[in-house]
Structure 1
Amino acid sequence: MIFIANAPSTGELVMIGKTSQTIHRNLFLPMQDPALFGEIAHHIHYTPGAPTARILGRVVHVIGANDAKSEPKIRGMTVCGAYVDEVTLVPQIFFEQLLGRMSVKGAQLFCTTNPDNPAHWFMRDWLSQVGKKPIRRFSFTIDDNPFLDPEYVRDIKAMHEGLFYRRFILGEWVAAEGAIYDAWDRERHIVTTLPKAGIHRWISLGVDYGTKNPFHAVLLGLGADRKLYAAADWRYDSRQFKKQLTDAEYSQRMRNWLADVPGIGPVRPQFVTVDPSAASFSTQLRRDKLTPTAAKNDVMDGIRTVSSLLAANKLLVHASCKDLITEIGGYSWDDKAALRGEERPIKVADHGVDALRYAIFTTRALWQRQLALAA
């Protein structure tokens, strides 16, 4: 804000994030809150989705940089000031183009980010170069924010373990290695019965589609005790049965299973969240009057959500889900990818955990408030 008030009169001001929606949520909503910014909040004007904002009388361009194709958005601009939200989510080619656009004397670039892999290009080329390049680095943890309620801080800390605790609570740049769900405890997370008061709501059926690979569907329910339950699953492995099924056959067998889930009875889940790459299967489900929803396949965000639920003991798995249970315990990071600065799971025995992630992450708006009420 101080920079905008005194920014060079020539050149453009830009605010950049993964999408314009995240910029609005992460930046403009708090900036327009008088409780946080006082009188200055009344001098910040932005309509969600608009290409520009007006801050302290200056026009500011709002630009989403979701992938490498975003780079042309700033090509040819002359920039005097830029703010990049969550810079580690911005493509490197976009960032380099932005630097090349900042030719105005006195131009400044401000970036924020949560820690990532220590081999990430932003750490390698910039944060680790303090003293060698004209940059300043400031580090803060959740405990440094005086506006956060102490109870909220305590709850957030309790929801993270392992990799995500070190990154998002301690602020460390550490590599993803070893078990992904390191909070997983068979004695704590596996149940032999569902809550006595029952399942309040059958939220979703997560489906990881496979023809040569296993097809796995996981049924997710919200218990009356305000916990999530992977209550049952259905799996078909064509290699084991030596027979591949068609989309119509998968649909029929899955619907037959839902009509009488063992130990539960008939279930009609609110959502059927399907692997987004399984377009033909989704088409078949529509023909069969079972409306599918394309699963949100943000892998890291989905893994973090499941990990937080396990750490907070808010996600339990029924003992009948034997293949899913086996996969959760063996789900691991790809060490070779980590050396390249990439973060991804090993693509082996991951069909059940993917289905679980689809079911949970795609429907989080349905269950987040319910779980929070139980805290």
Structure 2
Amino acid sequence: MFYDRTIKGLWVSGEGVVYPDFDITKHLIPEIDENGNHFPYWNCDEYIVGCDWGYSHYGSILVLGRIGDNWYLVEEHAEQYKEIDYWVDIALNITNRYGYIPFYCDSARPEHVDRFSREGINAINADKSVMSGIEHVAKLIKSDNFYIIKHDKELHILKELYAYAWNESTGLPIKENDDCLDALRYALYTHCYNPIEISNQSIFK
């Protein structure tokens, strides 16, 4: 694995990774294909956002669009050492472009969730169930219902997908390389399994 990654420059998974079925040759698709066709953002049935707070480790905001049964990661914002004002600006820009779409946020920082709400962002406490959430995301990947749109900039989530691994002693994921993947899980799992909770948490309630 080390040789393939470092010497040959291949994207390969290590033993015990959480999402072994992710295949960069299949699940990473260009924003503009070889025929010059752009990804059809306007054809998405809906958009949702996952948000994981960070500072010394990466904070992340992911925008996901759904077309039929397929989910596409269309935007990634992942940065270190950014204060809440930075993330508010990112979230407001997304809201201005996509409309009043739900932001499924890590509830570990309630003051940040409240700040989003005060700014007019549809901030919702995510369902953070780890094992159920991972199972849901893993099924989407295995069934080829999850894709990442490739843009010009390097995507941090790709590094995480190939490094996020299980702890053999505890049977739980190791709390490393999971910032974007937590945001992904928050959005996809909460949106699928908690529709009543979502409607009750609208800031227009």
Correspondence for 1:182 = 20
Query: Corresponding residue for 1:348?
Result: 176
Letter in 1 for 2:173: P
Q: Which has the higher contact order (CA 8 A, sep 6+)?
A: 2
Task: Give the root-mean-square deviation of aligned CA atoms.
Answer: 2.3
Q: Alignment partner for residue 203 of structure 1, among 47, 56, 59?
A: 47
**1:293 and 2:137 equivalent?**
no
Q: Which residue does the alignment assign to 1:219?
A: 63
Residue number in structure 2 paired with 1:235: 78
**Aligned residue pair count:** 173
Write the deviation string for residues 149-187 of structure 1: whole angstroms up to 9, x where unpaired: xxxxxxxxxxxxxxxxxxxxxxxxxxxx70110111111
Distance 1:197 1:280 in 2: 32
Q: Which amino acid aligns with 1:252?
A: D
Map of 1:45 onto structure 2: none
Match of 2:101 among 270, 286, 309: 270
Secondary structure at the counterpart of residue 228 of structure 1: strand
| Equivalent residue, structure 2, for 1:52 | none
Once the two structures are TM-superposed, the CA of residue 331 in structure 1 deviates from its matched residue by 1.2
Following superposition of structure 1 onto structure 2, how do residues 1-375 of structure 1 map, counting pairs within 5 Å? 178-193=16-31, 195-196=39-40, 198-223=42-67, 225-238=68-81, 244-245=82-83, 247-256=84-93, 258-259=95-96, 266-268=97-99, 270-320=101-151, 322-337=155-170, 343-365=171-193
Greater CA drift, 315-324 or 345-354 = 315-324
**Structure 2 unaligned spans of 5+:** 1-14, 32-37, 196-205
Q: Secondary structure at the match of 2:74?
A: strand
Residue 252 of structure 1 deviates from its aligned partner by 2.1
For residues 188 and 109 of structure 2, the distance between their equivalents in structure 1, rounded to whole angstroms, comes to 18
- What amino acid does structure 2 have at the position aligned with 1:336? S
1:257-284, CA deviations, whole angstroms, 9 ceiling, x for partnerless residues?
A: 554xxxxxx2235210001112011010
> For 1:330, what is the secondary structure of its paired residue?
coil
Amino acid in the other structure paired with 1:236: E
Alpha carbons of 1:310 and 1:285: their partners in 2 closer, same or farther (altered >3 Å)? same
Aligned amino acid, residue 272 of structure 1: F
